[in-house]
C-alpha cells in the first residue's frame, strides 16, 4: 500500500471539480486499475488520506476491501482495462460492494480521474 505524497496531493487539490459537479452517490469510491498497483479514491471526508494505492496481490486486494469498509463505501466504480479489473471485481463483488465497470474512454474526460491517473 502506498499513499500519495504532499506534492501529488497538492496537484490533486488544485482545480477541484467536486464542488462544481452534483454528488450523485456520496458512498462511492473510484479505482484506477493498473497492472502493478491500483489507485483508490474515496470521498475526502471518509479518510485522512482519501487516495491510496494497493498492489495487485490477493492480500493487498483484501486490505483494499477492508479500507473501503472502514470508509463506509457501498459502490465502487472502476475502468475495465485489459484483464486487470477481473480479480478486483470478483473480490469486491463477493464482499458485497456494488461494482460498476466504466469505459476508460468516458472516464478520461473527467479531470479528477485524469489527474489521479497521471500520478
Mean local confidence (pLDDT), 31-55: 93
Sign of CA dihedral 66, 95, 30, 88: positive
pLDDT averaged over every residue in the chain: 81
Q: Tell me the whole-structure pTM to 2 decimals.
A: 0.73
Q: Does the pLDDT of residue 20 top 90, yes or no?
A: no
Fold of 26-118: Nucleotidyltransferase; domain 5 (3.30.420)
pLDDT score of 117 = 44
SS3 (DSSP) at 47: coil
The ranges assigned to domains in the chain are 26-118
Could you give the CA distance from residue 5 to residue 69 in angstroms, rounded to a whole number?
23
Mapping DSSP to helix (H, G, I), strand (E, B) and coil, where does residue 10 land?
Answer: helix
Residue 23: count other Cβ atoms within 10 Å of its Cβ.
9
Q: How far apart are CA 27 and CA 114, in angstroms?
A: 21
Amino acid at each position: 500500500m502506498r499513499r500519495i505524497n504532499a506534492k501529488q496531493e497538492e496537484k490533486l487539490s488544485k482545480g477541484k471539480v467536486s464542488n462544481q459537479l452534483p454528488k450523485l452517490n456520496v458512498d462511492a469510491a473510484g479505482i484506477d486499475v493498473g497492472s502493478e498497483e491500483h489507485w483508490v479514491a474515496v470521498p475526502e471526508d471518509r479518510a485522512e488520506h482519501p487516495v491510496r494505492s494497493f498492489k495487485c496481490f490477493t492480500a493487498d486486494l483484501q486490505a483494499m476491501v477492508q479500507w473501503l469498509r472502514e470508509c463506509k463505501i457501498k459502490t465502487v466504480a472502476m475502468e475495465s482495462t485489459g484483464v486487470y479489473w477481473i480479480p478486483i471485481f470478483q473480490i469486491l463483488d463477493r464482499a458485497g460492494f456494488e461494482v460498476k465497470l466504466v469505459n476508460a474512454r468516458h472516464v478520461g474526460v473527467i479531470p479528477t480521474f485524469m489527474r489521479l491517473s497521471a500520478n
